[in-house]
Chains A and B, each alone.
Chain A
Amino acid sequence: MNIETTQTLDKYAQDKYKYGFVTNIVSDRPKKGLDEEIIKFISQKKNEPDWMLTWRLDCYKKWLKMSDPQWANLKFPEINYQDIYYYSAPKGFENKPKDLSEVDPKLIETYNKLGIPLEEQKVLAGVAVDAVFDSVSVATTYKGELEKLGIVFCSISEAVQTHPELVKKYLGSVIPPGDHSFSALNSAVFTDGSFVYIPENVKCPMELSTYFRINAEETGQFERTLIIADKGSYVSYLEGCTAPQRDTNQLHAANVELIALDNAEIKYSTVQNWYPGDEEGKGGIYNFVTKRGLCKGINSKISWTQVETGSSITWKYPSCILKGDNSIGEFYSVAITNNYQQADTGTKMTHIGKNTRSKIISKGISLGNSQNTYRGNVSFLRKANKSRNYTQCDSLLVGNKCGAHTIPYIESKNNTAVVEHEASTSKINEEQLYYCRQRGLSHEEAVSLIVNGFCKQVLQELPMEFAVEAQKLVAISLEGSVG
């Protein structure tokens, strides 16, 4: 690697985070730490029915007996669960505001700054947004229009009140609270997140989207999202996230459950841009997320697309349980790590039904001193006749202090199943850089172009409105202060 390349890469490594500002707002939060008291406090704040509180407390008891999973390729000090605030809401949020006139202008300004306008006249065309600030949902746009089609799109706290039968039936049905410590923890203390129900044979006409913002210091965010696509329906959902720049680590442990019934399709996209920590690896979000989709019905389809650029630690495996015959699971991922970021991410495809198919395309890009691991588990159960999986994992190393790892597990109990696995690791190529620069492009433009080309297969899976944004985000993750 020549000097100029090293210089450019160092410049990239000094990435500046654009969303690191703090909103000065008075927050309402209980004492630090976790006990039954706090759970009762959260439940009471949300005015929850008894069954919900009982569920939370059961999950808490499970959590107490569990320890955090240790198998990931991640290094970080043990999390002190008593040193975190479990609830934080802007003051005056005992009841969700009916409309924006009741919302503190500082909050609206925050979302404007993040590029997510909430005012009706400015909302993103064709995208309905649920904005979650720390532990509460601030506003949900386009709600009325969606209601006309019978679509329910609201915060999960609201759904507990308005659609208890659906919540009771499906909450924890895809991710059992006892699955691992983070799912038990989330189930005990979850605060807000989105709830979506698409009725039979309805194609949701717009993108549904949740924007998560962590603002308060030393506060964990435990969001819970539940999406149910009834028979023959379709929905595309997008999630975005940012947090202020702080030198302490913050915990984000979300649970997302998707359920697709017969012939239904759910497309779930994430653009994750939590604060990644500074150049020395100080601060940043610990992102321990459990996302799982159940293709419950025949011919159903769940597709995960993720662009992971932020967080100091990413521990995340959006998975599909392919239970219905002929169901399809897909996972498209771009994970970029820079400085001292660590990512251990991938997917799990569990083939249960006959003729089920899954596809995994993973692109990992490592820069600076970061470590980037793909971890995948593809399994075929006994009855998964004639099922197929195709996996492609590509890693790109930029510089010589970073690492890329690929850990695929494949298990088959059915001898008619077909598995294909392709993997490649490459360094950013001096010859490609030379070629681009000989055509007049600067070093930075060349790297950005090559990386974007490397990710294209995944980026093109994103909804149109966000593909361009994601492309820019990829460039920014590389470019540092430019732009």
Chain B
Amino acid sequence: MIFLNINNLNVSIEGKKILDDFNLTINQGEVHAIMGPNGSGKSTLANVLAGNEDYEVNSGKIIFKDQDLLGLNIEERAQIGIFLAFQYPVEIPGVNITPFLQASINSKLKNENKPELDTLSFAKLLKEKAKDLGIGPDMLKRSINTGFSGGEKKRYEILQMSVLNPEFTIFDETDSGLDVDALRIVTEGINKFKNDNNSFLIITHYQKLLDYINPDYVHVMRNGKILKSGDISLAVEIEKSGYQNF
């Protein structure tokens, strides 16, 4: 099975080319990190994978679990196991996480022709996962992301990920706006969740995040292309001398 294969992908927004013949392959169980300066197209990649309709795919192919991903809309992609941990999770006032995530997980179960979870068993699952991540019951009572600190929002994203159990998670600059403590808590959550079946694409500007999560591959991206791929040593090199060598 091809897990994820991005082949010669060209993407533009309002006529401006952002991804330029972009190629990347990720196998099951792998952790990939993409680093690059601002404006290199990292966040565009994350959003195009999630199906955001603001971007125009001009040519190229994305295969995910042997399916043509570009033929699916946002929710269909979510239902087959793509999860995007947002850089800036949006506030949804008045909406509690319990009914929200229950609808979310049931959309996925329905897609897999599995029985849906009732409110009681879902609440139990949510409570367990929250406890694992050190999220107290008070936080579960609040409206989604509303009035949360940057760190709380990111922890909420990790909680949602662990409940929905996606096979492929994209972290879009998850480290932005986090202090060291919050970063540690978030990355611990990711490490706890990681196993042989799920894969990750970690998009980051700084190497800091990679001190906590050990990626299998590091890619350097600039002007909509991957310029160099390697292991963690590549990240160390960037930390030392910046992006000017690429």
Q: Are the C-beta atoms of A439 and B78 separated by less than 8 Å?
A: yes
A2-B53, A438-B84, A439-B160 in contact; A450/B92 too (CB < 8 A)? yes
A435-B92, A445-B103, A453-B93 in contact; A4/B75 too (CB < 8 A)? no
If A432-B90, A435-B89, A436-B100 are given as contacts, then 12 extra A-B residue pairs at C-beta distance below 8 Å, sorted by A number, are A2-B53, A429-B90, A431-B90, A438-B83, A438-B86, A439-B78, A439-B101, A440-B78, A440-B105, A440-B164, A441-B100, A453-B92
Q: Are the C-beta atoms of B100 and A449 separated by less than 8 Å?
A: yes
21 contacts between A and B (CB under 8 A): A2-B54, A431-B90, A434-B90, A436-B92, A437-B78, A438-B84, A438-B86, A439-B100, A440-B75, A440-B107, A441-B75, A441-B107, A442-B75, A442-B107, A445-B107, A449-B92, A449-B95, A452-B94, A453-B93, A453-B95, A455-B94
Among A445-459, those with CB < 8 Å from B are 445, 449-450, 452-457
Q: Are the C-beta atoms of B90 and A457 separated by less than 8 Å?
A: no
Whether B79 sits at the interface, judged by CB under 8 Å, is yes
Residue ID in chain B nearest A450 by CB atoms: B92
Within the assembled complex, what's the spacing in Å between the Cα atoms of A435 and B93? 13
B residues whose Cβ falls under 8 Å from a Cβ of A: 50-54, 73-75, 78-79, 83-84, 86, 89-90, 92-95, 99-101, 103-105, 107-108, 111, 143, 160, 164
B125 to chain A, nearest CB (A): 15
Residues of A in contact with B, size category:
20 to 34
A394 to chain B, nearest CB (A): 9
5 closest A-B pairs by CB: A453-B94, A453-B95, A456-B94, A440-B107, A440-B78
Q: Choose from A2, A436, A439, A456 the contact partner of B164 (Cβ within 8 Å).
A: A439
A453-B93, A456-B94 in contact; A441/B54 too (CB < 8 A)? no
Most chain A CB within a 10 A radius of its CB, from B79, B104, B143: B104
Residue ID in chain A nearest B74 by CB atoms: A437
Q: Choose from B52, B108, B143 the contact partner of A440 (Cβ within 8 Å).
A: B108
Within the assembled complex, what's the spacing in Å between the Cα atoms of A431 and B89? 9
Contact partners of A445 in chain B: CB under 8 A: 103, 107
Within the assembled complex, what's the spacing in Å between the Cα atoms of A449 and B111? 20
Q: Are the C-beta atoms of A437 and B90 separated by less than 8 Å?
A: no
Q: Are the C-beta atoms of A441 and B103 separated by less than 8 Å?
A: yes
Within the assembled complex, what's the spacing in Å between the Cα atoms of A441 and B102? 10
Within the assembled complex, what's the spacing in Å between the Cα atoms of A436 and B50? 12
Q: Choose from B73, B95, B107, B160 the contact partner of A452 (Cβ within 8 Å).
A: B95
Contact partners of A438 in chain B: CB under 8 A: 50-51, 74-75, 78, 83-84, 86
Most chain B CB within a 10 A radius of its CB, from A3, A431, A434: A434
Q: Are the C-beta atoms of A437 and B89 separated by less than 8 Å?
A: no
Within the assembled complex, what's the spacing in Å between the Cα atoms of A432 and B145? 11
Within the assembled complex, what's the spacing in Å between the Cα atoms of A431 and B52? 10
Contact partners of B86 in chain A: CB under 8 A: 435, 438
Residue ID in chain A nearest B52 by CB atoms: A434
Residue ID in chain B nearest A429 by CB atoms: B90
Residue ID in chain A nearest B53 by CB atoms: A2
Within the assembled complex, what's the spacing in Å between the Cα atoms of A436 and B160? 12
A4-B53, A439-B100, A440-B78 in contact; A432/B160 too (CB < 8 A)? no
**Interface flags, A413-447, vs B, CB<8A=1, else 0:** 00000000000000001011011111111110100
Contact partners of B89 in chain A: CB under 8 A: 435
Contact partners of A441 in chain B: CB under 8 A: 75, 100, 103-104, 107
B220 to chain A, nearest CB (A): 27
